[in-house]
């Protein structure tokens, strides 16, 4: 029996099971390093960020106005005497303010001692050193309390978070110049197929340009990885084995496209079966069925389909979340949003379909999802026309217009 015959042609792995298999193998492999804030965007936080201080660090003034103690207004008093001087951001008022007096106070100033309330300048009348207050003043108004945003010792960002600008803002607010993040994950990338030519080259008879590698490199370029681009593999078993085994010895994750199916020249699925351990191969989905995942040497190997749409979806829906987990994040796809379908469809009940979709505005103003009509897994322009992907699970066999369907935007999936 040849290695080829060992692969189980009959059985396909349901999408839910493929996800469960990925989740079982997902664990951080990347190391930990400290980087300056300016280099931390898009990196994965290695340890919980615990605040060393309160934010704001002191009670402070939230509006431009006047500060005083609210107790002075007991009994209906409406007029206070103004002290000379100003409390301003970065310039605390030097003296305590006696009850019954008020002081000019600007946004961001530490709340002057003796004060607990600030009234906006638009709400008062000032004549000389007389301050006339509005009829109703809420004690404690317009004051930002020490620690109301972050309390010292509190967990501000959890380990495994991919750091965005807002996390860097919070870290800076805490006074941190560096963060502990996961080291970039080394990833090796191949295309495969004798027909493939680099863009810029001249295809021979039967030749086409390699679309997958530039696309996958761009998708990887947004992630905390270092990519080794190993080019195009020929359709020769020995060459494929040597190159991919070599890459698997030097990288924790290897991603290939093409040669994933059951044809005579599908050497990647064959390699995974013969020299590695198949964790799943052939997923019950459309497009993208010939998707393989397994272990080779000490690496994980994704054998993505060759058809460009299938390669892109295999990456976005399976390889990318798993890669992020190896890189230190938790294993998760973005939550799908239920949106009304702007289409009708009948489908088979034994597989998941991923429809390329566009957001449309219905006549009543609500948002719905329409399908991109040209659907083949080689029609890559269908992805350039799409806003997102609709997931139609096996149990859904019929969709009527208006039925809720599960939508994920391409941006959320990591394609932007
Ligand atoms: P395969 O899985 O190798 O049988 O490839 C399936 C289809 O995808 C074939 O039509 C290939 O020519 C095409 N294909 C494979 N790899 C690429 C690639 N890197 N760029 C564009 N098309 C590809
Ligand atoms: Mg091929």
Distance 16 CA to ligand 2 centre (A): 27
Question: What is the pLDDT, as a whole number, of residue 375?
Answer: 85
Q: What pLDDT is attached to residue 11? A: 86
| 329 CB near ligand 1 (under 6 Å) | no
What range does the domain containing 48 cover?
33-53+158-182
Nearest CA to ligand 1 atom 6: 306
Residue 5 in this model has a pLDDT that exceeds 70: no
Domain shared by 167 and 85, yes or no: no
Task: Please work out whether the CB of residue 288 comes within 6 Å of at least one atom of ligand 1.
Answer: no
**Under 8 Å between Cβ of 291 and 283:** yes
Residue 10's pLDDT band (cuts 50, 70, 90): confident
- Which tops the pLDDT comparison, 210 or 75? 210
Q: 164 and 47 share a domain?
A: yes
- How far apart, in Å, are the Cα atoms of 64 and each of 12, 105, 112, 189? 66, 6, 14, 57
Output the domain CATH number for residue 93. 2.170.190.11
Instruction: Name the residues around ion ligand 2, CB cutoff 5 A.
Output: 193, 258-259
Instruction: Output the pLDDT for position 6.
Output: 54
Indicate whether residue 212 lines ligand 1 (CB < 6 A).
yes
What lies within 8 Å, CB to CB, of 271 at 6+ separation is 237, 240, 241, 244, 245, 296
What are the strands of the beta sheet with 117-120, ordered from one edge? 117-120, 65-68, 101-105, 79-87, 130-132, 125-127
Q: Report how far ligand 2's centroid is from the alpha carbon of 222 (Å).
A: 27
Q: How many domains does the chain have?
A: 4
Helix (H, G, I), strand (E, B) or coil at 114: coil
Within this chain, do residues 229 and 322 fall inside the same structural domain, yes or no?
yes
Range 101-111 average pLDDT: 98
Query: What's the whole-number mean pLDDT along residues 350-370?
Result: 97
pLDDT score of 379 more than 60:
yes
Q: What percent of the chain has pLDDT over 90?
A: 96
Token pair for 60: 């402070």
Predicted pLDDT at 228: 98
Residues 46, 178: one domain?
yes
Residue 13 lies in a domain: yes
Ligand nearest to the CA of 191: 1
Which two structure tokens, joined as six digits, stand for 381?
């322009």
Quick check: CB of 210 below 6 Å from ligand 1? Answer: yes
Of all ligands present, the nearest one to the C-alpha of 265 is 2
- Give the model's pLDDT for residue 214: 98
Closest CA to 102 of 85, 122, 88: 85
Per-residue confidence (pLDDT) for residue 9, from 0 to 100: 62
Counting atoms of ligand 1 from 1, which one is nearest the CA of 257? 16
Taking only the tens place, the pLDDT of each residue in 123-149 is 999 999 999 999 999 999 999 999 999
| Statement to judge: residues 121 and 88 lie in one domain | yes
Q: Is the CB of 326 within 6 Å of ligand 1?
A: no
pLDDT 10s digits, 114-130: 999 999 999 999 999 99
39 and 175, same domain (yes or no) = yes
| Protein residue closest via CA to atom 10 of ligand 1 | 307
pLDDT per position as a tens digit, 390-404: 999 999 999 999 999
Contact 121, 66 (CB under 8 A): yes
Q: Where are the beta strands (DSSP E) in 171-330?
A: 178-182, 185-192, 196-197, 208-209, 225-233, 253-257, 277-281, 285-286, 292-296, 299-304
- Ligand found nearest the CA of 287: 1
pLDDT exceeds 50 at position 3? no
- Closest residue CA from atom 15 of ligand 1: 306
Query: Which ligand 1 atom lies nearest to the CA of residue 192?
Result: 16
* Closest protein CA for atom 16 of ligand 1: 306
């Amino acid at each position: 029996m040849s290695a080829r015959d060992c692969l189980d042609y009959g059985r396909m792995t349901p999408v839910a099971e493929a996800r469960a298999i990925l989740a079982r193998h997902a664990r951080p492999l990347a190391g930990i390093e400290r980087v300056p804030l300016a280099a931390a965007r898009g990196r994965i936080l290695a340890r919980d960020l615990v605040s060393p201080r309160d934010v704001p660090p002191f009670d402070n003034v939230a509006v431009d106005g006047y500060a005083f103690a609210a107790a002075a207004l007991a009994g209906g008093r409406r007029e206070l005497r103004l002290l000379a001087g100003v409390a301003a951001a970065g310039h605390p008022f030097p003296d305590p303010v006696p009850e019954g007096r008020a002081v000019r106070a600007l946004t961001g100033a530490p709340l002057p001692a003796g004060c607990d309330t600030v009234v906006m300048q638009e709400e008062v009348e000032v004549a000389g050193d007389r301050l006339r207050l509005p009829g109703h003043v809420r004690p404690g108004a317009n004051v930002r309390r020490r620690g109301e945003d972050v309390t010292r010792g509190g967990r501000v960002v959890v380990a495994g978070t991919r750091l965005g600008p807002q996390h860097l803002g919070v870290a800076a607010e805490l006074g941190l110049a560096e963060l502990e993040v996961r080291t970039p994950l080394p990833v090796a990338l191949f295309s495969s197929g004798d027909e493939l030519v680099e863009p810029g080259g001249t295809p021979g008879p039967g030749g086409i340009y390699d679309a997958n590698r530039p696309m996958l490199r761009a998708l990887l370029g947004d992630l905390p990885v270092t990519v080794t681009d190993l080019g195009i593999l020929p359709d020769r078993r020995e060459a494929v084995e040597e190159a991919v085994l070599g890459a698997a010895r030097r990288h924790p994750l290897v991603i290939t496209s093409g040669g994933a199916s059951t044809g005579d020249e599908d050497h990647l699925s064959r390699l995974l079966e013969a020299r590695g351990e198949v964790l799943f191969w052939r997923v019950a989905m459309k497009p993208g069925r010939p998707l393989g995942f397994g272990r080779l040497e000490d690496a994980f190997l994704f054998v993505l389909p060759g058809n460009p749409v299938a390669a892109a979806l295999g990456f976005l829906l399976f390889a990318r979340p798993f890669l992020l987990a190896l890189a230190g994040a938790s294993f998760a796809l973005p939550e799908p949003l239920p949106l009304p379908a702007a289409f009708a469809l009948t489908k088979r009940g034994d597989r998941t379909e991923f429809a390329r979709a566009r957001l449309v505005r219905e006549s009543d103003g609500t948002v719905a999802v329409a399908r991109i009509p040209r659907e083949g897994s080689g029609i890559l322009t269908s992805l350039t026309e799409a806003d997102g992907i609709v997931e139609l699970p096996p149990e859904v066999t019929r969709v009527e217009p208006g039925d809720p369907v599960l939508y994920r935007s391409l941006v959320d999936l990591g394609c932007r």
